[in-house]
Structure 1
Amino acid sequence: MSEQSNIPKEEGLDHSLALIQEGYQYIPSRRSKFKSDLFETRLLGQKVVCVGGQEGAATFYDKERFERKGAVPKRIQKSLFGENAIQTLDGEAHEHRKQLFMTLMTEERLQQLAELTREEWRLAASEWAKMNQVVLFEEAQQILCRVACRWAGVPIDAIEVKPLARDFMAMVEAFGAVGPRHQKGRKARKKMEDYFKGLIIEIRHRRMEPIEGTALHKMAWHRDHKEKHLDEHTAAVELINILRPIVAITYYITFGALALFEHDVWKEKLQSGDEESVQMFVQEVRRFYPFAPFLGAKVKNEFEWKGHTFEKGQLVLLDVYGTNHDNRLWEEPYAFNPERFRNWTGGMFDLIPQGGGDYYNGHRCPGEMATIQVMKTSLSFLTNEMIYNVPMDQNLSYSLSRMPTYPESGFIIQGVSIKSQSTV
């Protein structure tokens, strides 16, 4: 650490346990305590600088200052992202692979995603009408797993969707966990990588032919920036990085249902069919409720910012949750208010639930567009095509110390029925 640095420092030998115990609140609470957008701490035995706010996010996404290589811990690669995944790349390799992901986010492909999402919700809801109660968090996983596989061109006739969805969610659940929950995620990833690697091999040996333009087809035949096919393992990893995030939208759907329950006026607005209201509501769900707590990068070239010299190779964490609740960016940030997005122009570094920056020339998650499409379709279905009751004898609270988190009860609904077409 440069002696010139005058940023606040968290005293003590290591704060990894505090991070696990405090979860989403670890970085924001210290930014508040220190009254600073950056501070130094120690995590897993190394010095780490945490940054936040709009200016901090803009600095974090400066490609001349930061890189992703070496920033994602092996424990996260082996559970959430996979090794040699797009999240670990920089420069030409990252830009080339980013283009691969962006080709899946065309207007036509996103419209197809919406149609598949609507189909699967209708099929599921017809089954729920026969059940006494439904745990939305559990059922939505299976719906979105089917959507993800169909959209990506993965054949699901021979797959049991329930355990497949469970494995995808185990990878996500492993992110902020230690012990059994983390090990479960690692085992799930190994199993999924082996399975999808087998599919890639089948395709390359011409024993199966996926639909052209789907993620399965593109991953199988993609050539990297050196004009070489991705190895089978990496192709499988990136296919999973299409499927898993769609299944993970389960968290947002469940929180969206909670918001509809707690804010009746917005349920009525969504029922009116006003597209702007749907868009605003979805954006506020993404801003208000916890999803990614923070993101990491390493200093590429030494630079100075706000009195601190960022040394080459230093790990830096961006406060995602805290930036989404920064009172300099959002009026009454801890109040749920979709109206704040009515005249929002779409800043690259203020609303960052899935990261910030630019889609085409940076590290902003290309799956953000798919997330918004699936959320809009799903929440519109819940309000316009389904009738259900929310029993009061359930725990709808969620813990900010758990990463990722969701309502304790999973959001139970009862008395499901499908609205007649004349009322939709």
Structure 2
Amino acid sequence: MGGERNLPKDEGLDNSLKLLKEGYEYILNRQHRYQTDVFETRLLGEKAICLTGKDAAEIFYDNSKFERSEAAPGRVKKTLFGEGGVQGLDGEAHKHRKEMFMSVMSKESLQEIIDLTEKQWDLFAARWETKDEIVLYEEAKKILTKVACEWTGVPLEDDEVEDLADQLSNMFEASAAIGPAHWKGRIARSRGEDWIEELVEKVREGKVNPPENKPLYTFSWHRDLDGNLLDKSIVAVEILNLLRPMVAITVYICFTAHAVYFNKEEADKLKNNDSERLHWFMQEVRRFYPFFPFTAARVKDNFSWRGYEFEEGTLTLLDLYGTNHHPEYWENPDRFEPERFAEWSGSPFDFIPQGGGEFEIGHRCAGEWITMEIMKVSLDYLVNKLSYEIPEQDLSFSMVDMPSVPESHIVMQNIKRK
């Protein structure tokens, strides 16, 4: 075909080990090296195209060009997403399932998230006052496990919190792991699905009666496009796809504490409880720090973009971290500057820490609003409602480990409520 261009190529029989060694910066490094937002590589034995940037994201989230079914590696489905969940659907099936998720994201339900998060921070802070020190990562996991279960309508006893927090965190901590850590995540996912399946059976039998506005009720009685109740195994996957990512916000809470500690001048601007500045700071945490490295899809039908040919079935990765640090869209991307969000246009494609595109019809994470509300409440506590000390510790974080989190998990001492 006339006008075709050859894709820049990262040479090598298979570059999976390079990806593991470079982590979040694998795609970004090659974007700098080749001065391009698109290049070809080989991963897990097959050709893959890597994309970075706003224009690339807009193409990637065009449902006529890409599909998600069979895109995620099996090991990720076995730990992070589960099998049969909304992330792997396309077309009308995806739209219908996404509507189920969006139906529980009302203004009232998001306010409930805020109220529950504040309540748990208060309860946990009272306990911390009696301790010499706490590890924020471990405590935040328990806070968010309680918030997630109460919000979804999933029953949880106090003596079950710690075990469930560990189980849910094993799922996202194992998403890129190999060996024993990966199997730990698979076991956690399997146990979790068995537990929720049994709970769904009890809901349908009338033995457990969650309020009708709770996701457990909504998902248990949701019907597919053929009018059939979702299989209990699918409901279990989707309930865990609420619980697990809510607990994963723990990573962002730790990075929020990290940002407060290392950016004292910016944190001081938050002490008058300015909602707008809290929002800017929270958004900059999501832009600046590593969370999801990339997301995957496959080419739906052959098409051409910028003169490059995309062949049907080709694995394609969109660099989330790199797009959030792209110098074309973010001035001084490696600086922590919350006020950049005072002028941000709100594009669904240049700022994509949890995916891009439109919420209602696309593959943008339905829980992004939940993430932002929980982060804002947590930031307010860390700046305005608690006094504490951060002792000497290793506060570095890896750009290779997925997910990344400060090495010390943020040790805090002498905590007092203000």
Shift of 1:344: 1.5
Aligned to 1:264: 264
Shift of 1:16: 0.7
Aligned to 1:307: 307
How large is the RMSD of aligned CA atoms in angstroms?
A: 1.2
Paired residue type of 2:299: V
Paired residue type of 2:282: V
Paired residue type of 2:174: A
Deviations, residues 284-325 of structure 1 (Å, cap 9, x unaligned): 000000000000000011101122211111110001110000
Q: Is the CA contact (8 Å cut-off) linking 2:3 and 2:307 kept in structure 1?
A: no
Aligned to 2:168: 168
Partner Cα distance (2:12, 2:229) in 1: 48
Report 1:195-344 matches (<5 A). 195-344=195-344
Shift of 1:126: 0.6
Shift of 1:374: 0.5
Partner Cα distance (1:45, 1:3) in 2: 29
Aligned to 1:406: 405
122 and 158 in structure 1: CA distance in 2 versus 1, 3 angstrom threshold: closer
Report 1:310-389 matches (<5 A). 310-389=310-389
Aligned to 1:394: 393
Shift of 1:158: 6.7
Partner Cα distance (1:171, 1:83) in 2: 13
Aligned to 1:109: 109
Aligned to 2:125: 125
Shift of 1:5: 4.3
| Structure 1 residue matching 2:270: 3-state secondary structure | helix
Deviations, residues 192-212 of structure 1 (Å, cap 9, x unaligned): 000011100111111111111
342 and 3 in structure 1: CA distance in 2 versus 1, 3 angstrom threshold: closer
| Larger CA deviation: 379-388 vs 252-261 | 379-388
| Structure 2 residue matching 1:245: 3-state secondary structure | helix
In the superposition, the TM-score normalised over structure 2's length comes to: 0.98
Partner Cα distance (2:158, 2:194) in 1: 16
159 and 69 in structure 1: CA distance in 2 versus 1, 3 angstrom threshold: farther
Paired residue type of 1:71: A
Aligned to 1:186: 186
Q: Which runs of 5+ in 2 are unaligned?
A: none
| Structure 2 residue matching 1:380: 3-state secondary structure | helix
Paired residue type of 1:316: T
| Larger CA deviation: 24-33 vs 149-158 | 149-158
| Structure 2 residue matching 1:117: 3-state secondary structure | helix
Partner Cα distance (1:346, 1:224) in 2: 33
Aligned to 1:415: 414
Q: Is the CA contact (8 Å cut-off) linking 1:65 and 1:299 kept in structure 2?
A: yes
User: How many corresponding residue pairs?
Assistant: 417
| Structure 2 residue matching 1:405: 3-state secondary structure | coil
Identical amino acids, percent of aligned pairs: 48
Q: Is the CA contact (8 Å cut-off) linking 1:7 and 1:307 kept in structure 2?
A: no
Partner Cα distance (1:114, 1:159) in 2: 24
| Structure 1 residue matching 2:405: 3-state secondary structure | coil
| Structure 1 residue matching 2:269: 3-state secondary structure | helix
Shift of 1:269: 2.0
| Structure 1 residue matching 2:104: 3-state secondary structure | helix
Q: Is the CA contact (8 Å cut-off) linking 2:291 and 2:404 kept in structure 1?
A: yes
Shift of 1:151: 0.6
Partner Cα distance (1:148, 1:138) in 2: 16
| Structure 2 residue matching 1:225: 3-state secondary structure | coil
Partner Cα distance (1:63, 1:5) in 2: 24
Deviations, residues 113-134 of structure 1 (Å, cap 9, x unaligned): 0000000001001111111111
Shift of 1:369: 0.4
Shift of 1:271: 1.7
Aligned to 2:34: 34
Paired residue type of 1:126: A
242 and 190 in structure 1: CA distance in 2 versus 1, 3 angstrom threshold: same
Partner Cα distance (1:359, 1:208) in 2: 31
Shift of 1:165: 0.7
Shift of 1:267: 2.2
Partner Cα distance (1:40, 1:156) in 2: 47
| Structure 2 residue matching 1:226: 3-state secondary structure | coil
Partner Cα distance (2:159, 2:311) in 1: 49
Deviations, residues 307-353 of structure 1 (Å, cap 9, x unaligned): 22111111100011100000000000000000000122210101000
Partner Cα distance (2:321, 2:369) in 1: 19
Shift of 1:409: 0.2
Shift of 1:159: 5.6
| Larger CA deviation: 343-352 vs 315-324 | 343-352
Paired residue type of 2:410: F
Q: Is the CA contact (8 Å cut-off) linking 2:76 and 2:176 kept in structure 1?
A: no
Shift of 1:4: 4.3
Paired residue type of 2:75: R
Paired residue type of 1:331: E
Deviations, residues 119-155 of structure 1 (Å, cap 9, x unaligned): 0001001111111111101110000000000011111
Partner Cα distance (2:313, 2:7) in 1: 18
| Structure 2 residue matching 1:270: 3-state secondary structure | coil
Paired residue type of 1:394: Q
Aligned to 2:50: 50
Paired residue type of 2:217: H
| Structure 2 residue matching 1:105: 3-state secondary structure | coil
Partner Cα distance (2:344, 2:53) in 1: 17
Partner Cα distance (1:405, 1:378) in 2: 19
Aligned to 1:18: 18
